[in-house]
Amino acid sequence: MITLKNIIKRYKSRTGAHTVLNGIDLTVAPGERLGVLGKNGAGKSTLIRLISGQELPDAGTIRRKMKVSWPLAFSGGFQGSLTGLDNLRFLSRVYDVDHEAIQSFVEDFAELGKYFREPVKHYSSGMQARLAFALSLAIEFDCYLIDEIIAVGDARFHEKCMHELFEKRKNRAFVIVSHDPNFIKSYCTRAAVLESGNMTCFNSVPEAYDYYMNDVLYAGSGHAGSS
């Protein structure tokens, strides 16, 4: 279980403090797949970083009773000057798993070929994302935090990821943030919409989808509404 209580996060900007999250309450139960929709700049990545513990909120509390992954995003989490293999060893030590046991899985899954032994800074963003995915699958978490990363690699790799994540690990919890409502609609069991610092939770994913499509994304152009 992950519990967020009245989370407030502000960033300093040239025009004064900017409130990104303004009193977010959220719980994520084991096995639940929560999708968070929001436009660019709505605070989705901030929310993910707060849940992961990478950043601390200005107010409110976050409790984690699960082993939570680092935010899987297009980049980040790797030391650029180290090779993929060195990064694997480093993360194995940090997360206390045997690096030899996971090495072949990661090497196979990430499909990096000889690049596995090259510095990560020479990777493309897709390669970095594949390595991050492979490592997080190998280390095994109770809850995966996924930040817009879903469109990793080609269609076949994409399928492989979906299979590993949502078939083999369907008992795990997921928090997925995305601006792509169709993805959230097809994979999540619950959804919420993040908008100007506030989060609206919905009982069903289609409801969230409709709200996001009509009232957030195309607000003004179609019929306006509020909730």
State the sign of the Cα–Cα–Cα–Cα dihedral 62, 68, 72, 76: positive
Distance of CA 102 to the CA centre of its chain: 22
Q: Which is nearer to another protein, 35 or 71 (CB)?
A: 71
Going by C-alpha positions, the residue among 3, 33, 5 that lies closest to residue 21 is: 5
Residue 74 in contact with another protein, rule: CB under 8 A:
no
Residue 54 in contact with another protein, rule: CB under 8 A:
yes
Question: Which residues have a Cβ under 8 Å from the Cβ of 162 and sit 6 or more positions away?
Answer: 187
Contact residue for another protein among 8, 19, 22, 64 (CB under 8 A): 64
List C-alpha distances in Å: 14 to 17, 40, 44, 59, 98: 8, 20, 22, 22, 46
Contact residue for another protein among 43, 77, 84, 181 (CB under 8 A): 77
**Which among 68-76, 171-179, 187-195, 213-221 is the span making contact with another protein, rule CB under 8 A?**
68-76
Distance of CA 162 to the CA centre of its chain: 14
Residue 27 CB, nearest approach to another protein (Å): 15
Contact residue for another protein among 27, 30, 56, 159 (CB under 8 A): 56
Q: Which is nearer to another protein, 67 or 168 (CB)?
A: 67
Contact residue for another protein among 8, 19, 23, 95 (CB under 8 A): 95
Q: Which is nearer to another protein, 90 or 157 (CB)?
A: 90
Could you tell me the two tokens for 27?
């719980």
State the helix-helix crossing angle for 125-139 and 99-110, rounded to 10 degrees: 140
Contact residue for another protein among 90, 157, 166, 183 (CB under 8 A): 90
**Which among 33-41, 84-92, 152-160, 168-176 is the span making contact with another protein, rule CB under 8 A?**
84-92
State the helix-helix crossing angle for 84-95 and 99-110, rounded to 10 degrees: 130
The binding site for another protein (CB under 8 A) comprises 11-12, 49, 52-56, 61-68, 70-71, 76-82, 86, 89-91, 93-96, 142
